[in-house]
Amino acid sequence: MEIEHRNNITVVGDPQGRPVVLAHGFGCDQNMWRLTVPALAEKHRVVLFDYVGSGRSDPSAFSEDRYASLDGYAQDVVEVCEALDLRDAVFVGHSVSAMTGVLAADAVPERIGALVMVAPSPRYIDDEGYRGGFSAGDIDELLASLESNYLGWSSAMAPMIMGNPERPELGEELTDSFCATDPDMARVFARTTFLSDSRDDLEKVTVPTLVLECAQDVIAPRGVGAFVHRAIPGSTLVTLDTTGHCPHLSAPEATNEAITGFLAGLR
Amino acid sequence: MMCRAGQQSGPYGADDEEAANASFAALLEDGAEELYENAPCGYLSTLLDGTVVKINATLLGWLGLEREEVVGRMRFTDLLTVGGKLYHETHFAPLLRMRGEIGGIALEMKQAGDKRMPVLVSSAVKHGEGGQPLLIRTTVFDARDRRAYEEELLRARKAAEEARRQAEADRARLQQALAVLQRSLLPDTLPAIPGMETAAHYRTASPDRLGGDFYDVFPLGGTRFAFFLGDVCGKGPEAAAVTSLTRYTLRAAALHDPDPVSVLATLNEVLHERYTGGDPRYCTVVFGIVDPDPESGRAAVRIASGGHPPALVLRADGRADFLPTPGGLLVGIMPAASFATAATTLAPGDALLLYTDGLTEARTGEDRTALYGDAALRAFAADHAGEPPGAVMKALADLLDGFGDGLDDDTALLALGVPSRPAPGPATKNTP
Amino acid sequence: MSALKIVTRDAATGPVLELLGELDYATAPELRDVLATVTLRPGQRLVMDLAGMEFCDSSGLTALIIARNHAHAARADIALAAVPARTLRLMNIAGLDQIFSLHPDSDVATRP
């Protein structure tokens, strides 16, 4: 299967620039980066994609087995990099995707040369000596929330028909429903995301890494960013003065500034 | 969805005028502030970071909170359950940021006493004169009844799906059991008879219903082999039980005394004893013994028939004749029954064909009203006389295919033949 | 709807069942049901009039055997009248012509 089609790959910016891959987290799709792309496109080849099961990816490529672990999502990243034959790319991952990037960089080191981790969390559930912010029961509640929005009281959350790039009205619709996914696939992604524990994977990181955290983040509480920073030697931690889990939406200027500054400092 | 407190006023007569005026006055007194506070839905306004700056009495009442503990102190997400919070952060907030408004999202809010309240939330961003976002206005609707109904729907759907899955699994299991049982009624492979060739074919008319046809071939010691083919009346599990009993009785009886008539007499006794009364179970069967003589290349065949259609003998020279066994009675219906016997000798190139009436009773013709019949079968056999049993069987299987839905009943076929003599020549020893 | 119609009447020799239509796997139970309502006294003769029977398969033959058992259980006799040629051929193969008394028509069959 064509990876370009399967993962709904979009490439913009300077074809000669160092590639930057933008990876969305659980919940929405590549449209999350709309305010980030313009800041990067001038100097970089910017690659956007949707994980299988999200956005406008090909739903027929979904497999519950494959995406029951972060390795499945990391495999998507690897295959996207291979399909475009990216070398030494900067991988920018939001939320759970920050960890997906860690796994992918370990798998194909020649393709991923730097990491930007936006609001990362290697583990969402509290553990001894570690505060992830949630209990296991909380995750069940999220699954119930997904379910209750599935009946479609809101047109924005109604399951959209994915993987049909021939449809002409996609512009408007894409904006309107970019957080809508097939409920069964969303449930798998939610489980994989919130039940994962990737703390031990952090030490595998050998590339330059920027950790971006928000001052007030319900999903990745203060302390988690510092944990990631400590676990990755030589990494840089930047705390953005914003609220929420999506600094690229709530504080786009500060986020872009941090990322472009980091990119400029790379060799 | 609307948040509307008032009612449409209808026409009213002169008598009601005074009362109407009074309610109109009351409406006028219901100022905007009063409506905001006590509207039948919750209102709140927050800064862009979610800090609550304004909240109405209705929502405070639902949540069991005092204004002072909320305003300026809590964020919108603090009012949500953990599940609601996660959903808000991963779906609601990004969408609101991108679109400026969002409607009808199902969330859960925390109520006093660890209770939770399902709500439907709509939010819109208020922009300043320069277009910069200033604050978020949110309306909260009580969705408790709706959610209960919704959960009932989901529960019912899950139950229906579960029932369907269960039914499918049951059906698959049953079909597997039927297939195993059906196979147990037939031999997996036929034993090789030295100096002879054998071939068999079984065709079920309906995969759901166990058929009652059966056949088998087995050694009797020495050079002799026994064979039988028959048809139990009826179908389904009851017929299969009779088939099973019949098959094992024939085998056991033949080992005790292989004489075809005494084998059938034993079966008759067993079936009649087992199935007397209002539910008679019987079968038609041909039982025979074949004794090939490697010296002469000929095989002596003796058969006995109980109510079964006559066997066919296909000769090497292209003839096909019935081997009549008239007067043999169905096996199992009478306490003492008589069975008809016949004998023949198979020379090289000859074959004996046994069949059940599924073949001759197949409906043919355009309107499926004619029966295939004995004469057609005999003519068909003559066309294939001289061919080895495997080839005859292949031709018959194709014939059955051609009947399509004209095949009402199961059909069993068994052929035993003596291979043709190798053509004279110097190096023909390896000819089968 | 049914492809089989059964008409019952009484003759001097006992009950007569006239079978019209097809006697097969689908309709044989109807004959069994009717038989259960037919009372036979010892020495009577149950006559099955098959002149109008258009089709009979092995299930039909079973139903006729059940009728025979029913009659014999009441110490009565059974006779088949006007057996169609095709059914007669089946009965010959199955040896059933030996255990039923066969008559050309129901008039003959109901002669005392």
Instruction: Report the C-alpha gap between C108 and C79 in whole angstroms.
Output: 10
Q: Which residues of B touch C69 (CB under 8 A)?
A: 277-278, 280
- Judged by DSSP in three states, B299 sits in strand
For residue C32, the number of C-alpha atoms closer than 13 Å in the C-beta half-sphere is 17
Sheet of B283-293: strands edge to edge?
Answer: B213-221, B224-232, B283-293, B298-306, B340-346
**Residue B149 pLDDT > 60, yes or no?**
yes
Q: What is the fold, at CATH topology level, of the domain defined by B21-149?
A: Beta-Lactamase (3.30.450)
Q: Point out the residue among B235, B278, B284 whose CB comes nearest to the CB of C94.
A: B284
Instruction: Determine the distance in angstroms separating the CA of A179 from the nearest CA of chain B, rounded to an integer.
Output: 6
What is the sign, positive or negative, of the torsion defined by CA atoms of B20, B24, B29, B30? positive
Chain B residue nearest residue C93, CA to CA: B307
In the prediction, which pLDDT does B345 show? 96
Candidate from C25, C62, C92 with C-beta closest to B280: C62
Q: Are C109 and C79 in contact (CB under 8 A)?
A: yes
Q: Is A148–B150 a contact, with Cβ atoms under 8 angstroms apart? A: yes
Cα-Cα-Cα-Cα dihedral sign, residues C83, C89, C93, C98: positive
Query: What average pLDDT does range B368-376 have in this prediction?
Result: 85
Domains present along chain A, CATH in parentheses:
3-265 (3.40.50.1820)
pLDDT, tens only, A151-196: 444 444 443 333 333 433 434 444 455 676 777 888 889 889 999 9
pLDDT digits (tens, 9 = 90+) for B118-132: 899 999 999 999 888
Strands A112-118 and B363-364: unpaired
Q: Which residue of B has its CA nearest to C58?
A: B233
Q: What percent of chain B clears pLDDT 70, i.e. is strictly above it?
A: 91
The DSSP secondary-structure symbol of B4 reads -
Q: Does domain B186-417 match CATH 3.20.20.140?
A: no
Read off the pLDDT of residues B404-417 as tens digits, 9 standing for 90 and up: 888 878 899 999 99
Among residues A29, A44, A76, A95, the one annotated as catalytic is: A95
A19 has which bridge partners? A45
Candidate ranges A158-167, B237-246, B334-343, C44-53; pick with highest mean pLDDT: C44-53
Q: Is residue A217 among the annotated active site residues?
A: yes
What contacts B215, CB < 8 A, 6 or more positions away?
A: B186, B187, B200, B202, B227, B228, B229, B230, B354, B412, B413, B414
Which region among B33-47, B164-178, B289-303 has the lowest average model confidence (pLDDT)?
B164-178
Between positions 361 and 390 of B, the ones with CB within 8 A of C are 361, 371
Q: Does the structure show a pLDDT above 50 at A10?
A: yes
Whether the Cβ atoms of residue B417 and residue B351 lie closer than 8 Å to each other: yes
**Residue A69 among the catalytic residues:** no
Beta-carbon contacts of residue A261 (< 8 Å; ≥ 6 apart): none
Strand A44-49's sheet: what is its strand order?
Answer: A10-13, A44-49, A18-23, A89-94, A112-118, A209-216, A236-243
Distance from CA of B315 to the nearest CA of C (A): 23
Catalytic residue chosen out of the listed positions A24, A54, A217, A235: A217
* The pLDDT value given to residue B11: 52
Task: List chains touching A (3+ CB pairs under 8 A).
Answer: B
What's the whole-number mean pLDDT along residues C38-66? 91
Q: Is the predicted pLDDT of residue B5 greater than 50, yes or no? A: no
Q: What is this model's ipTM?
A: 0.84
Secondary structure of A167-213 in HEC code, one letter for each residue: CCCHHHHHHHCCCCCCHHHHHHHHHHHHHCECHHHHHHCCCCEEEEE
* Domain parsing of chain B, residue ranges: 21-149, 186-417
Contact A146 B120 (CB under 8 A): no
Contacts for C25 with CB less than 8 Å, ≥ 6 apart: B235, C57, C59
Give the contacts of A145 (CB within 8 A, at least 6 positions apart).
Answer: B83, B84, B86, B87, B106, B107, B108
The average pLDDT across A82-110 equals 96
Paired tokens of C47 = 């006559």
Q: Say whether A148 and B118 touch across the interface (CB within 8 A).
A: yes
Q: Is C95 on the interface with B (CB under 8 A)?
A: yes
CATH second-level architecture of C4-109?
A: 2-Layer Sandwich (3.30)
Residue boundaries of the structural domains of chain C: 4-109
Hey, how many other C-beta atoms are within 10 angstroms of the C-beta on B296? Answer: 13
- The answer to whether residue A95 is catalytic is yes
Highest mean pLDDT among A172-176, A188-192, B57-61, C102-106: B57-61
Phi, psi of B140 (to 5 degrees): -120, 125
| Structural tokens at position B314 | 């296909």
| φ and ψ at residue B54, rounded to 5 degrees | -150, 140
Closest-CA residue in chain A for B75?
A243
Q: Report the candidate in A29, A25, A26 with the shortest Cα–Cα distance to residue A8.
A: A29
Cα torsion angle, B10, B15, B16, B21, sign: positive
Does C99 sit within 8 Å of B333, measured CB to CB?
Answer: yes
Find residue B102's DSSP bridge partners. Answer: B123
Cβ–Cβ contact B100 with A under 8 A = no
Rounded to an integer, what is the distance from CA B382 to the centroid of its chain? 41
Cβ distance A141 to B84 less than 8 Å, yes or no, reads yes
> Which positions in chain C touch B341 (Cβ < 8 Å)?
none
Q: Using 50, 70 and 90 to split pLDDT, how confident is the model at B19?
A: confident
Secondary structure class of B281 (helix, strand, coil): coil
Name the minimum distance, in Å, from the CA of A16 to any CA of chain B: 30
Q: Where do we find the tokens 């799709």?
A: A29
Say whether the A–C interface has 3 or more Cβ pairs within 8 Å.
no
Which residues of A are less than 8 Å from B151 in CB distance? 148
- Cβ B199 vs Cβ B419: under 8 Å: no
Closest residue of chain A to B106, computed from CA coordinates: A149
Considering only CB atoms, C95 lies closest to which of B233, B307, B310, namely: B307
Distance CA A149, CA A186 (A): 12
- Out of B309, B333, B408, the one facing C93 most closely (by C-beta) is B309
Tell me the average pLDDT across A227-244: 94
pLDDT on residue A65: 94
Q: How many CB atoms sit inside 10 A of residue C45's CB?
A: 21
Cut 0.80: pTM above it: no
- Residue written as token pair 């009943």: B409
